Copies of this chain bind each other. A is one copy, B any other.
Amino acid sequence: MQTSSNSVKTIIDKRKKEFFDYLRLDSVSTQNRSIEPTVKYVTELISSTGGDFQVLDDLGGNPVVYGFFKAGPKGNADKTVLFYNHYDVQPEDPLDEWETDPFDPTVIDGKLFCRGVTDNKANFILRLYAIEYLMQSEEGLPCNVKFLVEGEEENGSPNLDAYLKKYADLFKSDGCIWEFGGKNEKEQFVIETGVKGMAYFDVFVESADVDIHSSLGAVVDNAAWRLTHALASLRDKHNHVLVDGFYDDIEQPSASAQQAVKEKKVSQDKIAAIYGLKHPFITEQLDWTAEEALAFYPTMTICGLLSGYTDEGTKTVLPRKASAKLDCRLVPGQDPLKIEQLLRQHLDKNGFADVKLDLLKGSKAFRSDIDHPFVQTVKESAEEVYGTSSEVVLSPTNPGTGPMFSFGEHLGIPVASSGCGHAEGKAHAPNESIRLTDFEQGTHHMVEFLKKFKDA
């Protein structure tokens, strides 16, 4: 049975204002903005779709919303899928690079622009639409659906593990559809079944109590130089991390994971065009392919640098302090706390004991078994919506990060992604967007998946 396009469209049109109002909430978790009204709004969206909810907030952090939709009378109440989403979004800066107001959803040429639309408010909305469509259909909702909608994903989900551990029974299910997902730069629909972990650091160094006239640079050390040399000692310019032990604990991926990655060709040309890259892929300097690097190897990234005078013109000053944001994407086997230790040891050993390191967030990587029936059901239903298997790709590890490890650890379930993202969606950057056609297709995928999953 094919999904009726008309009915899905009807729901999309009918609930557009609700969707746009959700996008208007500037729920930037790292800046603690609009969390309370957004939680309330998430519960209203679940209610208005016909589900029950609970707001969990007894373990600290931003509240976690639990949602529940019971299988219809003709459905299979023994099967439960868990939808994982987050209601928080990244900060919108740099503001001057947005072509629209970051929190005013704006449609231009079939694209909907707004901070948080692709990451990941649209995915939450389209899952509700799929449920509404099925509840209105003759067959009813084919299985139980649970939601876990958290509000600290963009901040490294520091409290989610505790909620999943305590509420493991509440969230018990047979598999989890991840918060993100969508199409790559070759317009293939990619199903991610793993994520990288993360160790995100504030790096800070201080050289004096006050800024000093730079003439004293002949004798006085300078925080900006200390930081520059400390950072340069951590990773060479060919992208090799120089910290002893950094690569030691990496787990070998399974044979089928390696095979899947080998089949998944990344197009350097297309990615370069999308982002306007000024340099070739750094993997050209390394022993592994771009595909392997994205799936199986850790990264170390400077996300920010700040020291001294940064305005127009000149100011001759020895900056008294300097700071950097450092983000390591980890792979299975690596532990963020151990990575912190290794970096600390490296800095101490190399004469940078004065350079402070503060682990702001840490999470472990996760990889599902891609041969698991749940994963295969996600794939087969995607093929019905997106075309033949050549256009649907299984990806063992997404290069991004999420708290997938906790779902595997506490619920013991596989995870697979489905969403309406596209390669130019600019998650975490100005002019974030989704394409409306992808939004509709994504809704169809969730409808087909739920129908198939009932009997998987």
A194-213 interface (Cβ within 8 A of B): 196, 198, 200, 206-213
CA distance A316 to B300 in the complex (A): 11
Question: A6 on the interface (CB 8 Å rule)?
Answer: no
For residue A433, CB closer than 8 A to chain B, the reply is no
Q: List 26 A-B contacts (CB under 8 A).
A: A30-B312, A30-B315, A31-B313, A91-B309, A91-B315, A198-B316, A208-B276, A208-B278, A210-B276, A211-B428, A211-B429, A215-B398, A216-B294, A217-B327, A218-B294, A218-B297, A221-B239, A224-B301, A224-B304, A225-B301, A228-B231, A237-B351, A302-B307, A314-B325, A316-B401, A316-B428
**A:302-352 near B, CB below 8 Å:** 302-319, 322-325, 327, 329, 351
- Chain B residues near A222 (CB, 8 Å)? 301-302
Q: Does A90 contact B (CB under 8 A)?
A: yes
Indicate whether A317 sits within 8 Å of B290 (C-beta atoms), given known contacts A225-B237, A276-B208.
Answer: no
Interface majority SS on A: helix, strand, loop or mixed?
Answer: mixed
B277 touches A208 (CB 8 A): yes
Nearest 9 A/B pairs, CB to CB = A209-B276, A232-B232, A30-B313, A224-B302, A304-B308, A215-B400, A215-B399, A306-B310, A217-B299
**Interface hub of A90, A91, A210 (most chain B Cβ within 10 A):** A210
Question: Knowing A308-B325, A316-B327, A428-B316 touch, does A207 contact B278 (C-beta < 8 A)?
Answer: yes
**The stretch of A131-139, A279-287, A381-389, A446-454 that contacts the partner chain:** A279-287
Q: Is residue A220 within 8 Å, beta carbon to beta carbon, of the partner chain?
A: yes
With a CB–CB cut-off of 8 A, which chain B residues contact A310? Answer: 304-306, 323, 325
**Cβ of A302 and Cβ of B308 under 8 Å apart?**
yes
Q: Which B residues touch A224, using CB under 8 A? A: 301-305, 324
Q: Knowing A93-B309, A277-B208, A360-B314 are in contact, say whether A215-B196 is a contact too (CB < 8 A).
A: yes
A183 at the interface (CB under 8 A from B): no
Given A228-B231, A313-B155, A303 and B318 contact (CB-CB distance below 8 Å): yes
Q: Shortest beta-carbon distance, A175 to chain B, in Å?
A: 23
Give me 19 other A-B pairs in contact (C-beta within 8 A), A97-B211, A216-B275 excluded.
A198-B316, A200-B316, A208-B275, A215-B329, A215-B398, A218-B299, A219-B266, A221-B277, A221-B279, A224-B324, A237-B351, A301-B316, A303-B308, A303-B315, A304-B308, A305-B310, A314-B325, A314-B360, A315-B325
